[in-house]
Amino acid sequence: MDFLRPASWEEALAAKAEHPTAVPIAGGTDVMVEINFDHRRPEYLLDLNRIGDLEEWEVGEDSVRLGASVPYTRIMENLRGELPGLALASHTVASPQIRNRGGVGGNLGTASPAGDAHPALLAAGAEVEVESVRGSRRIPIDAFYTGVKRNALAADELIRAVHIKKADGPQQYSKVGTRNAMVIAVCAFGLALHPETRTVRTGIGSAAPTPVRAKAAEEFLDAALEEGGFWDNGKIITPSVAKQFADLCSAACNPIDDVRGTASYRRHAVGIMARRTLTWTWESYRGTAARTEGVA
């Protein structure tokens, strides 16, 4: 195994072009586990830790440009206002030590359906900035996940940053695991209200071959909110609307039975999380109950 240590982003792109099989490594919280357990034997490891730029973020007018290696801890500490859904998701990632090392770039690179960041990115709306020696492009998050542990990156491309829409309304994130901390997702759910466009967006993790949005549920809720004038009158969402939204979120799942949970449980749990996060975000939008936010 060769260990490549580019000193700059340009060198990294050149190295990736020369060795398309090279596996990029930053925090190492995923790649090292795979190597230690002998699940993976890459010919080349491409160490991105000398590229400081990847650990920086910029808050723009409409979005946050989040460097691929910004650790989850930084997101929790510094971007809770701009990216509340992702900050909540970050807090569910593994342990404090892992959160100090791991970042969203790794989640995207691995593209595991169980990656904690995905539902939050899908719900907020995001674009992945990828680059190769051939140039730079932005991949919409909806087009990024292409299969189980597969993404839209070309062999010579590296993830540089992710551009995430700044929250224009309340966002929530929930994850089910069979332990109260340090647990891989059995399934996860992200929800973002977008009052500016009067839309809602969702993200479901670990309940389909890839992270997915529950588009039918979103469309249903968009229509129901519009019809009832909810965005303006701020009324409580009726239980039947919440239930139908939840059912449609469950229906958006295409889960499997595995050692972590049954397909039937995943469908069920996604529905419960959808209903609860809808209540929390909507109550927050109505400006009533601080209690629904949740803290740790």
Partner 1 sequence: MPTKPTTGAPTKITQGSQTKGGIGESTLRPDGTLKVTGEFAYSSDMWHEDMLWGQILRSTVAHAEIVSIDTVEALKTPGVYAVMTYDDLPTEVKNYGLEIQDTPVLAHGKVRHHGEPVAIVAADHPETARRAAAKIKVEYRELPVITDEASATAPDAILIHEGRDDHHIGHVPHPNIVHRQPIIRGDVEEAAKKADFVVKGEYTFGMQDQAFLGPESGLAVPGEDGGVDLYIATQWLHSDLKQIAPVLGLPEDKVRMTLSGVGGAFGGREDLSMQIHACLLALRTGKPVKIVYNRFESFFGHVHRHPAKLYYEHGATKDGKLTHLKARIVLDGGAYASASPAVVGNASSLGAGPYVVDNVDIEAIALYTNNPPCGAMRGFGAVQACFAYEAQMDKLADKVGMDRVAFRQLNAMEQGTIMPTGQAVDSPAPVAELLRRVKAMPMPPEQQWLAAGEAADVRQLPGGLSNTTHGEGVVRGVGYAVGIKNVGFSEGFDDYSTARVRMEVVGGEPVATVHTAMAEVGQGGVTVHAQIARTELGVTQVTINPADTQVGSAGSTSASRQTYVTGGAVKNSCELVREKVLELGRRKFGSYHPAWATAELLLEGGKVVTDGGEVLADLVDVLEGEAVEIEAEWRHRPTEAFDLRTGQGFGHVQYTFAAHRAVVEVDTELGLVKVIELACAQDVGKALNPLSVIGQIQGGTTQGLGVAVMEEIIVDPKTAKVRNPSFTDYLIPTILDTPTIPVDVLELADDHAPYGLRGIGEAPTLSSTPAVLAAIRNATGLELNRTPVRPEHLTGTA
Q: Where does this chain touch partner 1 (CB under 8 A) — which range of 17-25, 43-51, 158-166, 276-284?
A: 276-284
**Distance from C-alpha of 150 to C-alpha of 142, rounded to nearest angstrom:** 13
Contact call for residue 264 and partner 1 (CB under 8 A): yes
Of 175, 59, 33, 157, the closest CA to residue 105 belongs to: 157
Q: Considering the complex, what minimum distance in angstroms separates the CB of residue 52 from partner 1?
A: 29
Contact call for residue 105 and partner 1 (CB under 8 A): no
Contact call for residue 259 and partner 1 (CB under 8 A): yes
Nearer to partner 1, 36 or 233 (CB): 36
Contact call for residue 178 and partner 1 (CB under 8 A): yes
Nearer to partner 1, 92 or 202 (CB): 92
- Max alpha carbon distance in the chain (Å)? 62
Contact call for residue 16 and partner 1 (CB under 8 A): no
Contact call for residue 36 and partner 1 (CB under 8 A): yes
Nearer to partner 1, 178 or 233 (CB): 178
Contact call for residue 181 and partner 1 (CB under 8 A): yes
User: Do the Cβ atoms of 108 and 209 come closer than 8 Å?
Assistant: no
Contact call for residue 246 and partner 1 (CB under 8 A): no
In this structure, what are the phi and psi dihedrals at residue 244, rounded to the nearest 5 degrees? -65, -40
Which residue in the set 24, 71, 106, 261 belongs to the binding site for partner 1 (CB under 8 A)?
A: 261
Contact call for residue 290 and partner 1 (CB under 8 A): yes
**Distance from C-alpha of 141 to C-alpha of 85, rounded to nearest angstrom:** 15
| HSE-up (13 A, CA, CB side) for residue 140 | 4
**Distance from C-alpha of 32 to C-alpha of 54, rounded to nearest angstrom:** 19
Contact call for residue 287 and partner 1 (CB under 8 A): no
Q: Considering the complex, what minimum distance in angstroms separates the CB of residue 249 from partner 1?
A: 14
Contact call for residue 173 and partner 1 (CB under 8 A): yes
CA 209, 215, 221, 222 torsion-angle sign: positive
User: Do the Cβ atoms of 146 and 152 come closer than 8 Å?
Assistant: yes
Q: Amino acid letter at 220?
A: F
Contact call for residue 101 and partner 1 (CB under 8 A): no
Virtual CA dihedral for 149, 150, 151, 154, nearest 10 degrees?
A: 130
Residues forming contacts to partner 1 in the complex (CB under 8 A) are 36-38, 88, 91-92, 172-184, 186, 259-262, 264-265, 267-269, 272-273, 276, 279-280, 290-296
